[in-house]
Structure 1
Amino acid sequence: MHVHNVVCLEDDLDLAHFIELAVSAWPATVHLAHDGVHGLELIRAQKPDLILLDLGLPGLNGWEICTVVKNDPDLRTIPIIVLTAVPIENQERGVLSQVFDYLVKPFSLYHLRHALESVLVPA
């Protein structure tokens, strides 16, 4: 059985643990980071199946991380689901075209699991 590898970058500790529980519905290992610098290190080390990316991270923000990932030949194919409190209409469309999906906070467990199902398909 394939165990998915997920990196979650979220600075809200409660939300990060909520996400960790939601991802546990799949056979998955979740690696958490609460700032952008550590998160980018985790992404490079883990080369995950999925990145869950808060935009408002300290250190490097989510857009900066997204740009680095999408410009790195070893990482660019990793799907990114953006987690944001800013209404999507106010986001830059060019950057949004680089991500797999996005969830506007607060989001429900149903919406999170639906987004995860799009990426974490059974192997």
Structure 2
Amino acid sequence: MDEKKCCGEGYRGIPLEIEASLCRCGGIEGLIERLPPDAAIAARCAAHRALADPFRQKILAMLAVQPLCVCVIKAVLEIADSKLSYHLSVLKKAGLIQGDQQGNWIIYRLTGEGERWAPPRT
């Protein structure tokens, strides 16, 4: 078999256009250097997991309209306190929402990251 050479590395049987493109970016090393850091990939995965639930999508959609207290979110979703607490916790851990204490109330709002991931308004 003829072994393709690129940047001193051998690639067997890859298409010529892929080989040429790979060489332009510095070979496998160059490709690896262009990957996002592991922490950024982990944060993105956490966001995707947090987004993979209809209740959490609705919470983000509501908070895209305005900041809200728990009682309003609960009234809209019609779910138990424990279930709502869980969903809010998942969204907070993913960095999509934040809760600010205001007297006896916690007011939830989207973070900058949450604004990027919130469903579009209709």
State the structure with bigger RCO (CA 8 A, min sep 6), 1 or 2: 1
Answer 1 or 2: which has greater helix percent.
2
Classify the TM-score, shorter chain. Answer: under 0.3
* TM-score using structure 2 length: 0.25
Please say which structure displays the higher CA radius of gyration.
2
